[in-house]
Structure formats: structure tokens, C-alpha cells
Chains A and B, each alone.
Chain A
Amino acid sequence: MDATRDRQDERIERIIGRLLQIGVLTAAVVVLIGGSMLLAQYGSIPANFARFKGEDPVLKSVGSIVRAVMTGDSRAIVQVGLVLLIATPVARVALTMVAFALQRDRVYVVVTAIVLALLLYGLFWGRA
């Protein structure tokens, strides 16, 4: 029945899986660089995270993070790595949608598009 289609799905997923690993490793390297800078800068000050301080005006959205990185802010560099990391599953869903489109599988293009829309909503407008 769907055996050949399954094998094809699998091949595409394997490529997507590799791309994801590259995404995660890139994110980890950026986080490591930002984290080292952060420790060099603030490593010796006392840590207190017992109380939630609410949102950091610089770090609350994707756009403001990018602007802060331009000024070499270590916290913002860590956040860029973390945004990259959060973006990897989003990229996976987008690529899976392309794969379904190539197979002319309309139902699953729609299903995948719904998931993608929900993810993008969370990432860009999720202030609820």
C-alpha cells in the first residue's frame, strides 16, 4: 500500500533530522560564546533568582534582541542562541510541509500549515 511513500517520507525526514542537528549545534555554540562572555562580565556578582523580575525590556522580543546583539550585550547573545534553538523545531515543521507539498499530499500540507501557524504565533505575537 503506502510502503514506497513511507520510505520516501523517511528519506526526507532523515535529511531534515540532519539539518536540525546542525541547527542545534549552531545554537549551542552561540549560547556557549554568549555564556562565556556573560560569566566574564557578571561571574563574580551575587546570584539571586529567587524572585521573578518580569520581562527584561531588551530581551522580550526577537527584534529587540537582535538590536542588543549589535552592541555586544552578552545576555542578548545567549538569547540569540536560544532563539535559534527554539527556531529549529519550527524549521522542521516548515520543511516537513515542503516535503508533503512535493508529494502533492494536500491534506497534510494543510495539517502542517496549521502547526506552523501556531508555532509562529507563539514566537512572534505570543504576549497573551
Chain B
Amino acid sequence: MTLGLLALLLGVGAFGAGLLGALTGLGGGLVVVPMMTILFHVDLRYAIGASLVSVIATSSGAAAAYVREGFTNVRVGIFLEVATTTGALTGAALAGFIPTAALAIMFGLVLLYTAFRSFQSHEDHPLDLPADPLAIKLRLGSTYPTREGIRAYSVQGVKAGFALMFVAGVLSALLGIGSGIVKVLAMDRTMKLPFKVSTTTSNFMIGVTAAASAGVYLHRGYIEPALAFPVMLGVLGGALLGARILSGAKTILLRRIFTVVVVILALEMLYKGIKGAL
């Protein structure tokens, strides 16, 4: 295959990944790495570099829209970014020592977990539980708009949430993903933030987390221009279009389709990892 054809196919694939990722809310970064390694036989390290770059593009590109809605909790985001960036630098330092087969297996497990979570509906939790003393000290509690007007919420489990965010940072660097699913888990389940606040604050954090390890990977040669350019432009274009045509009605079917794709890729990654063929 010539470089031109590869770039074209990668761009089209990345566009589809960005579009589906935005429409389903599952993020496009998750399928970029398996697509590049399984379909196009690209080395896992180049795939991770290109994917991280596309993750930054979607997170920063969407930032203005998310903040406008008034859900993002900037203090929670910045505070937890201490954990995610530390985790990302740790992951980037470890990446050179972990065999690619082990990374492929980890990737498969994260994909399976994502598919599993996408079938669960989230439950609302009470917002007026007594706050974690640490959250009061750090003034993490805030307000957000609901149909009944502005509502206040308190923040729980700060230490456990912080620890989970470190894990999210490590995974983001090792696998080249945004790890939004772990970030939302930490904020929604552990810190008991409202779901909408968790998802938007997670998006706010993803670009910063990815930038920490992308800087390191740039030095190490993971970010190959010929591969990163079609992937970045494709995912960004797809995500921007997806955000524009987003309409609640058809996303359930799309989510199902996307979940099936994710499961197939998960099994393929696990198989390749166990066979040691990556």
C-alpha cells in the first residue's frame, strides 16, 4: 500500500471513529488504536501517538461548547488534573518497559469494560449528602442548572476519586485514549457529582491529561507525522460534525452498533495480545 492510500484510508476511518464517538458520547480515541493496529498493521506505539493527538483535538475543540452550558466544575477539574497528569507522566515512563502484547490485553479489557458500561443506565444519586471535609476545605462543591433551576451539590470521596484519576492518567498514556470512562466513574460514582457535571468536567480534563504524555511521546518518536496527520484531521472533523448533528432520538441504536464494534475490537485485541502477534 502506498503512503497516500494509507493516509486516505486512515483519514476516512478516523472520521468515522470521531463521528460515532461524538454521537454516542463514548469518545473516538477508543477505536482509533485497534483500527490502526488490526486493520492497517501499524506498530502499537505509532497508533498510540496518533490517537493521543486526536484525543487532544476533540477535547480542546469541544471545550467552548461544554463550558457554555454551565456544567463544568473548573475547580474539581483542575484539582483532579494533578492526579491525571502525574498518572500520565508515570504511564509514559512505564510504556517503554511494558511488552506490547501486555498493552494489547489491557486495551482489550478496557474496551470490554466500556462496552459493559454502555449497556448500564446510570442512576441519579442524592446531591445533598454531607460533604467530604477535604471537599469543603478545597471548596469543590458548586451549583449546576437543572429543569427546576440552579441546584447546589456537595462532593464526596475526594481521596478515592483522586486515586482513580491517577489510574485514568496511567491508562491514558499507556493506551493512547482519553479514558473518559474512568474519569466519569471517579466523579459520578465515587465523588457523587451530578452525571452531567461528571461528563462535561471529564471532557475538560481529557485534553490536559493527554497533553502530558503526548509531550513525552513526541520526544520518543511515537508521533509519526505521516500517520498522525490523517488521524488527527479525520477524528477532529468527525467529532465536530457529530456535535453538530447530535439529536437525542437515534443515539440508542447508534450506541448499540458502536458497542458491538467495541466488543469485536476488544476480542481481537485480546486474541492478538495472547498470541503475542502485535
Partner-B contacts on A (CB < 8 A): 1-3, 6, 9-10, 13-14, 16-18, 20-21, 23-25, 27-28, 31-32, 34-35, 38-39, 42-47, 49-56, 59-62, 74-76, 78-79, 81-83, 85-90, 92-93, 96, 107-108, 111-112, 114-115, 118-119, 121-124, 126-128
A68 to B81, CA, bound (A): 33
A-B contact pairs, 8 of them (CB 8 A): A10-B70, A16-B63, A24-B60, A49-B226, A51-B43, A54-B221, A87-B211, A127-B219
CB pair B211–A89 under 8 Å, yes or no, is yes
- Listed from nearest, the 9 A-B pairs whose CB atoms lie closest are A55-B221, A43-B4, A17-B64, A126-B216, A122-B215, A123-B215, A78-B225, A35-B229, A89-B207
A43 lies within 8 A of B3 (CB): yes
Q: Tell whether, in the assembled complex, residue B3 and residue A39 are in contact, meaning their CB atoms are under 8 Å apart.
A: yes
Segment of B84-92, B105-113, B125-133, B256-264 engaged in the interface with chain A: B84-92
With A96-B74, A126-B92 known as contacts, the answer to whether A89 contacts B43 (CB < 8 A) is no
Indicate if the CB atoms of B225 and A52 lie closer than 8 Å. no
**How does the 8 Å CB contact mask read for B1-42 relative to A, with 1 for contact and 0 for none?**
111111100000000000000000000000000000000111
C-alpha gap A75/B229 in the complex (Å): 10
Contact indicator A17/B66 (Cβ below 8 Å):
yes
In this complex, how many residues of chain B approach chain A with their Cβ under 8 Å: the count is 70
In the bound assembly, the distance between CA atoms of A102 and B57 in angstroms comes to: 28
Please give, as numbers and ranges, the residues of chain B lying within 8 Å of A81 by CB-CB distance: 229
Which residue of the partner chain A has the closest CB to B47?
A49
6 further interface pairs, Cβ-Cβ under 8 Å (given A3-B143, A28-B232, A45-B3): A10-B67, A31-B229, A93-B81, A108-B75, A119-B208, A122-B85
Report the Cα distance A99→B74, complex, angstroms: 11
